[in-house]
Amino acid sequence: MRTIFFVTLLGSLLVQAQDKQIKRVPIAQTSPASGKAMFGEYCAVCHGLEGTGDGPAAAALKDKPADLTALAAKNGGKFPEAHIYTTLRQVESPIHSSKRMPVWGSLFSSITTNPAETQMRINNLVSYVRSLQKSTVLASSHAAADEAAAGR
Ligand code: HEC
């Protein structure tokens, strides 16, 4: 069975990093129609509910989870959609490690026999991650688009 890695917090919310254990749990079913629900179930443990990279598992990982609210800002104000699709479609990783990002393409395909459902999950997650982009960035790229449309 495919598994996804999760972290359990032992004791109070104020536990130290060394009290955290990475646990493998089977991937749960969620509605493929809700990017928000999938993000809460699959992504927030590492990236945080707001997507800023500070989920409860972050401290136990080898690499720091990316700040998903800064993807557009780091890409000159443009949301790197193709790159995010590629990231989420990945089907195998050369290094299997509980300390890295799970391989979502394989995990999503493992809970359905319908490839359209996997595609829908990925589409809706990409849209949700897009919606997390810092508002200042969206505002400035809208302003730039408006200027371009106005021919300025
Ligand atoms: C087990 C922890 C973990 C979980 C769960 C997780 N991620 Fe990640 N993610 C990481 C880490 C660590 C990185 C940075 C290193 C890397 O790219 O592997 C990362 C990187 C990314 C990137 C790449 C950003 C870039 O600049 O290239 C995206 C996009 C992303 N995650 C989206 C998601 C989404 C969407 C989910 C839920 C479906 C998710 N992640 C779940 C740990 C996680």
Ligand 1 atom nearest residue 100's Cα = 12
Q: Which residue has its alpha carbon closest to ligand 1 atom 34?
A: 43
Model pLDDT, residue 11: 36
pTM of the model: 0.80
pLDDT digits (tens, 9 = 90+) for 72-103: 999 999 999 999 999 999 877 555 555 678 88
Which whole-number Å values give the CA distances from 38 to 33, 62, 98, 107, in the listed order? 9, 23, 20, 13
d(CA 132, CA 142): 15
d(CA 141, CA 121): 26
Profile the chain (152 residues) by mean pLDDT over runs of 10 residues: 52 43 79 96 94 91 92 94 93 62 87 94 97 69 56 57
**Is the CB of 5 inside a 6 Å radius of any atom of ligand 1?**
yes
